[in-house]
Protein backbone atom coordinates (compact mmCIF):
# COMPACT_ATOMS: atom_id res chain seq x y z
CA UNK A 1 0.00 0.00 0.00
CA UNK A 2 2.54 2.59 -1.09
CA UNK A 3 2.00 5.88 -2.83
CA UNK A 4 4.39 8.78 -3.51
CA UNK A 5 5.33 11.19 -0.71
CA UNK A 6 4.03 14.09 -2.79
CA UNK A 7 0.52 12.70 -2.27
CA UNK A 8 1.10 11.87 1.40
CA UNK A 9 0.49 15.37 2.73
CA UNK A 10 -2.69 15.73 0.70
CA UNK A 11 -3.89 12.32 1.88
CA UNK A 12 -3.18 13.10 5.54
CA UNK A 13 -4.84 16.49 5.40
CA UNK A 14 -7.94 15.56 3.44
CA UNK A 15 -8.49 12.03 4.74
CA UNK A 16 -7.03 11.54 8.21
CA UNK A 17 -7.19 14.86 10.06
CA UNK A 18 -11.02 15.06 10.06
CA UNK A 19 -11.10 11.73 11.94
CA UNK A 20 -8.99 12.78 14.93
CA UNK A 21 -12.00 13.82 17.00
CA UNK A 22 -12.41 17.05 18.99
CA UNK A 23 -9.37 19.28 19.47
CA UNK A 24 -7.36 18.69 22.68
CA UNK A 25 -8.52 21.96 24.25
CA UNK A 26 -12.07 20.56 24.32
CA UNK A 27 -11.33 17.58 26.61
CA UNK A 28 -14.74 17.86 28.23
CA UNK A 29 -16.41 17.09 24.89
CA UNK A 30 -14.43 13.89 24.23
CA UNK A 31 -16.87 10.96 24.03
CA UNK A 32 -14.33 8.31 23.06
CA UNK A 33 -10.99 7.99 24.87
CA UNK A 34 -8.55 6.10 22.68
CA UNK A 35 -6.18 3.55 24.20
CA UNK A 36 -3.43 4.77 21.87
CA UNK A 37 -2.36 7.84 23.85
CA UNK A 38 -1.97 7.90 27.64
CA UNK A 39 -4.21 10.98 27.70
CA UNK A 40 -6.88 9.35 25.53
CA UNK A 41 -5.61 11.02 22.35
CA UNK A 42 -6.20 8.95 19.20
CA UNK A 43 -2.74 9.60 17.75
CA UNK A 44 0.83 8.49 18.48
CA UNK A 45 4.10 9.12 16.66
CA UNK A 46 7.07 6.77 16.53
CA UNK A 47 10.43 6.73 14.79
CA UNK A 48 12.43 3.88 13.31
CA UNK A 49 16.11 4.74 13.66
CA UNK A 50 17.72 1.48 12.56
CA UNK A 51 18.22 2.80 9.03
CA UNK A 52 21.54 2.39 7.20
CA UNK A 53 24.21 4.75 8.56
CA UNK A 54 23.58 8.26 7.36
CA UNK A 55 20.01 7.40 6.48
CA UNK A 56 16.99 9.29 7.71
CA UNK A 57 14.61 7.63 10.17
CA UNK A 58 11.23 6.34 9.10
CA UNK A 59 8.43 8.36 10.66
CA UNK A 60 5.41 6.37 11.74
CA UNK A 61 2.17 7.15 13.46
CA UNK A 62 -0.84 5.22 14.63
CA UNK A 63 -4.33 6.66 14.83
CA UNK A 64 -7.77 5.61 15.88
CA UNK A 65 -10.35 7.34 13.72
CA UNK A 66 -13.16 8.97 15.70
CA UNK A 67 -16.53 10.27 14.56
CA UNK A 68 -19.70 11.70 16.01
CA UNK A 69 -21.03 8.14 16.31
CA UNK A 70 -18.11 6.73 18.35
CA UNK A 71 -19.34 5.05 21.56
CA UNK A 72 -22.99 5.32 20.51
CA UNK A 73 -25.34 2.39 19.79
CA UNK A 74 -24.63 2.97 16.07
CA UNK A 75 -20.89 2.47 16.58
CA UNK A 76 -20.18 1.04 20.05
CA UNK A 77 -16.70 -0.27 19.09
CA UNK A 78 -15.73 2.86 17.15
CA UNK A 79 -15.21 1.08 13.82
CA UNK A 80 -17.37 3.25 11.57
CA UNK A 81 -14.89 6.13 11.31
CA UNK A 82 -11.92 3.82 10.67
CA UNK A 83 -13.74 1.92 7.93
CA UNK A 84 -14.88 5.17 6.34
CA UNK A 85 -11.33 6.56 6.51
CA UNK A 86 -9.88 3.43 4.89
CA UNK A 87 -12.40 3.68 2.04
CA UNK A 88 -11.58 7.37 1.54
CA UNK A 89 -7.86 6.63 1.38
CA UNK A 90 -8.47 3.67 -0.96
CA UNK A 91 -10.44 5.95 -3.29
CA UNK A 92 -7.33 8.10 -3.84
CA UNK A 93 -4.70 5.36 -3.49
CA UNK A 94 -5.63 2.51 -5.86
CA UNK A 95 -3.00 0.14 -4.42
CA UNK A 96 -4.88 -0.15 -1.12
CA UNK A 97 -6.69 -3.48 -0.94
CA UNK A 98 -9.34 -3.78 1.78
CA UNK A 99 -9.98 -7.51 1.28
CA UNK A 100 -8.22 -8.69 4.44
CA UNK A 101 -9.56 -5.80 6.50
CA UNK A 102 -13.12 -6.70 5.51
CA UNK A 103 -12.39 -10.36 6.25
CA UNK A 104 -11.07 -9.75 9.78
CA UNK A 105 -13.91 -7.37 10.62
CA UNK A 106 -16.38 -10.05 9.48
CA UNK A 107 -14.75 -13.00 11.24
CA UNK A 108 -13.33 -11.58 14.49
CA UNK A 109 -16.15 -9.31 15.64
CA UNK A 110 -19.81 -9.85 16.52
CA UNK A 111 -22.03 -8.56 13.69
CA UNK A 112 -24.83 -7.41 15.99
CA UNK A 113 -23.74 -3.95 17.17
CA UNK A 114 -26.65 -3.97 19.60
CA UNK A 115 -24.93 -6.69 21.64
CA UNK A 116 -21.85 -4.49 22.09
CA UNK A 117 -24.04 -1.45 22.87
CA UNK A 118 -26.00 -3.44 25.47
CA UNK A 119 -22.77 -4.73 27.03
CA UNK A 120 -21.41 -1.17 27.25
CA UNK A 121 -24.67 0.08 28.77
CA UNK A 122 -24.42 -2.72 31.36
CA UNK A 123 -20.95 -1.52 32.38
CA UNK A 124 -18.61 -3.56 30.17
CA UNK A 125 -15.49 -1.52 29.43
CA UNK A 126 -15.31 -0.92 25.67
CA UNK A 127 -12.03 0.38 24.32
CA UNK A 128 -9.91 0.64 21.18
CA UNK A 129 -10.24 -2.37 18.88
CA UNK A 130 -9.18 -0.99 15.47
CA UNK A 131 -6.18 1.22 14.71
CA UNK A 132 -4.66 2.50 11.51
CA UNK A 133 -0.94 3.08 11.08
CA UNK A 134 0.96 5.10 8.52
CA UNK A 135 4.66 4.67 7.79
CA UNK A 136 6.33 7.53 5.92
CA UNK A 137 8.93 5.62 3.92
CA UNK A 138 11.28 6.96 1.22
CA UNK A 139 9.21 5.19 -1.46
CA UNK A 140 5.92 6.53 -0.14
CA UNK A 141 3.28 6.07 2.51
CA UNK A 142 2.53 2.55 3.73
CA UNK A 143 -0.77 1.93 5.56
CA UNK A 144 -1.47 -0.85 8.08
CA UNK A 145 -4.51 -1.83 10.13
CA UNK A 146 -4.40 -3.38 13.60
CA UNK A 147 -7.29 -5.22 15.26
CA UNK A 148 -7.91 -6.06 18.92
CA UNK A 149 -11.17 -8.04 18.70
CA UNK A 150 -13.60 -7.82 21.58
CA UNK A 151 -15.44 -11.00 22.47
CA UNK A 152 -18.74 -10.99 24.30
CA UNK A 153 -19.45 -13.12 27.34
CA UNK A 154 -15.81 -13.64 28.34
CA UNK A 155 -14.55 -11.87 31.44
CA UNK A 156 -11.48 -10.41 29.77
CA UNK A 157 -13.27 -9.59 26.50
CA UNK A 158 -10.77 -11.51 24.37
CA UNK A 159 -11.58 -13.63 21.34
CA UNK A 160 -10.68 -17.35 21.66
CA UNK A 161 -7.54 -18.53 19.90
CA UNK A 162 -9.62 -20.99 17.85
CA UNK A 163 -11.53 -18.08 16.33
CA UNK A 164 -8.27 -16.40 15.32
CA UNK A 165 -6.98 -19.63 13.80
CA UNK A 166 -10.18 -20.20 11.83
CA UNK A 167 -10.16 -16.62 10.53
CA UNK A 168 -6.52 -16.70 9.42
CA UNK A 169 -6.86 -20.21 7.95
CA UNK A 170 -9.62 -18.95 5.65
CA UNK A 171 -7.12 -16.51 4.13
CA UNK A 172 -4.03 -18.74 4.10
CA UNK A 173 -5.03 -22.40 4.44
CA UNK A 174 -1.63 -23.82 3.44
CA UNK A 175 0.76 -21.08 4.61
CA UNK A 176 3.69 -22.83 6.38
CA UNK A 177 4.15 -19.92 8.82
CA UNK A 178 0.48 -20.04 9.88
CA UNK A 179 0.62 -23.81 10.28
CA UNK A 180 3.82 -23.59 12.38
CA UNK A 181 2.38 -20.85 14.59
CA UNK A 182 -0.86 -22.76 15.15
CA UNK A 183 1.07 -25.94 15.98
CA UNK A 184 3.26 -24.05 18.48
CA UNK A 185 0.27 -22.37 20.15
CA UNK A 186 -1.73 -25.59 20.40
CA UNK A 187 0.92 -28.23 21.21
CA UNK A 188 3.92 -26.54 22.86
CA UNK A 189 3.80 -26.13 26.65
CA UNK A 190 4.99 -22.51 26.41
CA UNK A 191 2.79 -21.83 23.39
CA UNK A 192 -0.33 -22.97 25.22
CA UNK A 193 0.32 -20.28 27.84
CA UNK A 194 -0.09 -17.55 25.22
CA UNK A 195 -3.55 -16.16 24.65
CA UNK A 196 -4.77 -13.40 22.35
CA UNK A 197 -5.78 -10.36 24.24
User: How would residue 54 be classed by pLDDT, with cut points 50, 70 and 90?
Assistant: low
Question: What does the pLDDT look like over 104-145, one tens digit per residue?
Answer: 999 999 889 999 999 889 988 888 999 999 887 777 777 899
The pLDDT assigned to 9 comes to 56
User: How would residue 8 be classed by pLDDT, with cut points 50, 70 and 90?
Assistant: low
Q: Where are the domains positioned within the chain?
A: 5-155, 160-197
Single pTM value for the model:
0.82
The pLDDT assigned to 1 comes to 45
Which DSSP helix (H) or strand (E) runs through 171? Answer: helix 161-171
3, pLDDT greater than 60: no
Scanning 64-160, the segments in alpha helix (DSSP H) are 80-92, 99-108, 113-121
Amino acid sequence: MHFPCSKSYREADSCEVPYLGPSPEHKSSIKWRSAIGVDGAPFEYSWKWNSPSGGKPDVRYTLEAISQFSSTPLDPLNHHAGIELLHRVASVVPSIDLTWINHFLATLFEHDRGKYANAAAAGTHVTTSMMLAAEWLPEGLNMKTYFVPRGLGKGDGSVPLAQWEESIAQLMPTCPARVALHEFLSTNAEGRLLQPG
